[in-house]
Amino acid sequence: MPRDEITRAFLGVESSLTGRRWIGPTAEDDRLAEAMCQETDLPDPVARVLCRAGIAPEGAAGYLAPSIKDLLPDPLTLRDMAPAAERVLQAVARRERVAVFGDYDVDGAASSALLLIWLRALGLDPTLYIPDRIDEGYGPNEAAMEQLAADHDLIVCVDCGTLSHGPIAAAVGADVIVLDHHLGTETLPDAIAVVNPNRQDESGDLGHLCAAAVVFLLLVEANRRLREGGTRGPDLMAMLDLVALATVADVAPLVGVNRALVRRGLDIMHRRARPGLAALSDIARLTVAPSAYHLGYVLGPRINAGGRVGRADLGARLLSTACPDEAASLAERLDQFNTDRREVENAVRDAALAQAETRGVDGPLVWAAGADWHPGVVGIVAARLKEATGRPAVVIGVADGIGKGSARSIAGVDLGAAIHRLAQEGLLLKGGGHRMAAGLTVAEDRIEDAMARLGDLLARQGAAAGEPRGLKVSALLMPGAATTELIDEIERAGPFGQGSPAPRFAFPDCRVTSARRVGESHLKISFTDGMGPRVDAIAFGAFDGPLGPALEGHGGARFHLAGRLEINHWQGRARPQVRLEDAAPA
């Protein structure tokens, strides 16, 4: 490939309105897409998605219709799966007292709900225990486990427990099973089973699964054993809406079986058979078929809100209830907690951004810590810092001499491993997580030292360079080609999300025909190239940077525009819309 083709910016955009260099498809990308189009008759945008995923033309049909049957791994490939399934079935057969101990986030709530629904269908009345984020912190603690062990025969820890050696040892008199996906250390707690694709003695082939998917695999194995004994187990396919919700909300990559689970789960969610999700969709004014976007940005935050600023068990109760009236009440409470969460988040975000900028945002790590910052929002604020700076970010709330923080990473940097290293070195009181997200507890007088050491570890992974300020564009698209029919074709290659982004298109040399501010910081525009119909676009948070003011005050100038296609449903009509991400003078 000629060197000028490697270095040439797409459409000549070296620095867009948001300061990014546009990077277009290579000649090889174009060649592969053209061959895919010729052999499959797929539209060019769909062909490019498949080529990016490494799909050959003969595999296109299978990729566009992913089969859970073909992609679901054998549960027994995970270590400890056999004893875990056997012990759960033993509890069912003996009518034992079972407790489900879950994390307070969406993955934990969905994982807990899966087990609760399955056990109830088999005649048990399990106990739900979700720890309080502030009073108890993440994962099992000794007091709670002692209390549960006194009244239960079996405790199942979901989305937590892999590092809980002491608390699990404290569960004297009860058996414990761990179903988790967080990074493990060389030693595991003394439990009946620790089923976790991210154990150090696992291959890592299933490391992309969230905890709810691990729970689902356990139930698949348990149902298989029930069938062998002549008993029909609960309908697991009907539970895939919960697995899909957890997969997207926990930012698991939408590849392999995850993609199939989410695709099928979205179809099931659209049937509105689960009272909790139906009630939450109603209160969120979700009137269209749910997409991965709705799981991550509409439903997920509301379910999370209970664990952040309200009651920690509300999310799991909502997802597991069979009563529409209870579901409506829980959904209303979660929606109010989500409103409260936004107010708390905004205050902490402003303070954290100011502190981080004062400290400097050009190093391998951006961090901030403040007295009495609510631990329920530090993770969201860490994500905001990461997005604003392109660096891994940590935000810590300090109270009574102890800092509790959350961390978010960038592509190519394993933050969870670095946090584990800090905990092993004694700089943290506690720490754990996975590649893209982690949590930590640190003594207030060790925060500076811990963050300096974390910065050193992340620099060795290349974090000092930050995320590249490039904007990858899949292809050019004329406004007239942005139709609902094309969008429907592209959606066949979805769902899109972490690890599988939707294609981004550049619309060249367009004129903005109207522009208006929406809410505090969003922008709605219409644009045309002068040869086809106008296309609507929305840019969220446009007035938080230079994009909104430049397009609102366009003065008749022409722009190259970049964004992703979606369908806007309004007053019974479906129209194409661009989720606008960037622009540059034409």
Grade residue 492 by pLDDT with cuts at 50, 70 and 90: very high
Ordered alpha helix ranges (H), 229-290:
240-249, 256-270, 275-283
pLDDT at 5: 44
399 and 307 fall within a common domain: no
48 and 106 fall within a common domain: no
Residue for token pair 């502190």: 355
The count of C-alpha atoms lying within 13 angstroms of the C-alpha of 244, restricted to the half-sphere facing its C-beta, is 29
pLDDT at 4: 41
Please write the tens of the pLDDT for every residue from 327-343.
Answer: 999 999 999 999 999 99
For the sheet containing 402-408, what is the strand order?
366-371, 393-399, 402-408, 437-443, 430-433
113 and 262 fall within a common domain: yes
Check pLDDT > 60 for residue 6. no
DSSP, res 428: S
Please write the tens of the pLDDT for every residue from 10-52.
Answer: 999 999 999 899 999 999 999 999 999 999 999 999 999 999 9
At 513, is the secondary structure helix, strand, or coil? strand
Last residue of a domain, one of 465, 492, 519: 465
> In the numeric block, which tokens belong to residue 64?
């566009």
Specify the amino acid at residue 81.
M
Check pLDDT > 70 for residue 92. yes
Within a domain: 341: no
382 and 504 fall within a common domain: no
573 and 515 fall within a common domain: yes
18 and 39 fall within a common domain: no
Within a domain: 350: no
493 and 513 fall within a common domain: yes
pLDDT at 3: 39
CA angle 241, 207, 113 (to 5 degrees): 30
> How many residues are given for the chain?
586
Distances (CA, A) of 125 to 17, 215, 320, 408, 495: 57, 18, 12, 37, 35
Confidence (pTM): 0.89
pLDDT at 466: 66
444 and 503 fall within a common domain: no
Within a domain: 353: no
Within a domain: 40: yes
pLDDT at 436: 85
Check pLDDT > 90 for residue 433. no
DSSP, res 299: I
Q: Which residues contact 15 (CB under 8 A, 6 or more apart)?
A: 21, 584
Q: Is the distance from CB of 300 to CB of 106 less than 8 angstroms?
A: yes
Mean pLDDT over 509-536 rounds to 94
242 and 120 fall within a common domain: yes
Q: Is the distance from CB of 73 to CB of 206 less than 8 angstroms?
A: yes
440 and 550 fall within a common domain: no
Within a domain: 246: yes
Within a domain: 529: yes
What percent helix, strand, coil does the chain show, rounded to 5? 45, 20, 35
Report the chain's C-alpha Rg in angstroms. 24
Grade residue 296 by pLDDT with cuts at 50, 70 and 90: very high
d(CA 415, CA 431): 11
CATH number, domain of 213, equals 3.90.1640.30
**For the chain, how many structural domains are there in total?**
4
Last residue of a domain, one of 465, 496, 522: 465
> In the numeric block, which tokens belong to residue 32?
């592969």
d(CA 379, CA 345): 10
Grade residue 389 by pLDDT with cuts at 50, 70 and 90: confident
d(CA 252, CA 226): 30
Within a domain: 340: no
Q: Which domain holds residue 111?
A: 71-335
CA angle 468, 474, 480 (to 5 degrees): 135
Please write the tens of the pLDDT for every residue from 345-373.
Answer: 999 999 999 999 999 888 999 999 999 89
For residue 495, is the peptide bond before it cis, meaning its omega torsion is within 30 degrees of 0? Answer: yes
Rounded to the nearest integer, the mean pLDDT of the chain is 94
101 and 131 fall within a common domain: yes
Distances (CA, A) of 284 to 154, 297, 326, 567: 37, 11, 17, 18
165 and 198 fall within a common domain: yes
Percent of the chain with pLDDT over 70: 98
d(CA 505, CA 142): 53
Within a domain: 20: yes
Burial tier of 154 (Cβ tally within 10 Å: 0-12, 13-18, 19+) = buried
Nearest of 184, 165, 168 to residue 176 by alpha carbon:
168
CA angle 142, 148, 151 (to 5 degrees): 145
Nearest of 399, 92, 121, 87 to residue 235 by alpha carbon:
121
CATH number, domain of 513, equals 2.40.50.460
pLDDT at 276: 98
Check pLDDT > 80 for residue 1. no
